[in-house]
Amino acid sequence: NQKRQKGFFYFYQGQLHDAACGDLRGHDAAVEMVTWDNVLLNFKKLPGKRIKQRITTGLMSILMEASRIRDEALEECGTGAASFNGFSGRDNPAENRIAPAGADETGRRSGKMADICRETAAMADHILIIGIADMDGGYIAGHSPAGMDRSVFAAGMAGIMNMLAEPVQELNRCEMIREAIVRTDKGWVACRCLTADVYLGIVAGGECTPDEIQRLMDETAGKLDGLLN
């Protein structure tokens, strides 16, 4: 990330078992790392016997706790959660860069994607965040009625898709995962591949139903189709 910190998430059989960064271990390390900005993900396979299970809470709980901590920190700084843009301080590096060729068109497409996500969120009362991101954890566009951290969302969703890929491929002999709907102790996490490296993600409360999640993903993916091709 920006401070060149390094940490580790340890998954075993598709479940988060442990995390480590600096002097932190387990749940505290996981919460700390998902608040980092500009994260690069690296995946390495380790023998299961080398992984100690220190984390028993679900990934959704960790994401929600990290989002709450970020919001509280922003309120203490007087910036407000709604103004969070992934950077701290007055200067936003993204605003100070010279826009590359094609940036205007890319910006218009991202704006249209964000509008579609807002429309979808307005159709259901229990959506916490809906967004489009890439497999490297980069956030493209979206909307969060709950004010969730978009960088946490993008990195978490990429981690879920990458985590599921290998065991599912071994079981099903498939080449890629096109869709996943996961029920957690707090609600729902859903992912849909839109292209080979871009996906739609939804995090929703427990009041949603699988049918509602499926309908929202189908309708949103249909509206986004023309913007991705």
Question: How many domains, in total, are found in the chain?
Answer: 1
Whether 2 maps to a domain, the answer reads no
Provide the whole-model pTM. 0.55
- What is the mean pLDDT, run by run of 10 residues, along the chain of 229 residues? 75 77 86 78 66 72 72 62 34 36 60 90 90 84 87 80 71 76 88 86 91 93 83
Whether 223 maps to a domain, the answer reads yes
Whether 127 maps to a domain, the answer reads yes
CATH number (domain holding residue 62): 3.30.450.30
Using alpha carbons, select from 180, 171, 224 the residue that is nearest to residue 202: 180
Whether 1 maps to a domain, the answer reads no
Q: What is the pLDDT at residue 227? A: 83
Q: What is the pLDDT at residue 127? A: 92
Whether 129 maps to a domain, the answer reads yes
What residue numbers bound the domain in which 48 lies? 7-228
Q: What is the pLDDT at residue 118? A: 92
Q: What is the pLDDT at residue 125? A: 84
Terminal Cα-to-Cα distance of the chain (whole angstroms): 31
Which residues make beta-bridge pairs with 141? 132
Whether 38 maps to a domain, the answer reads yes
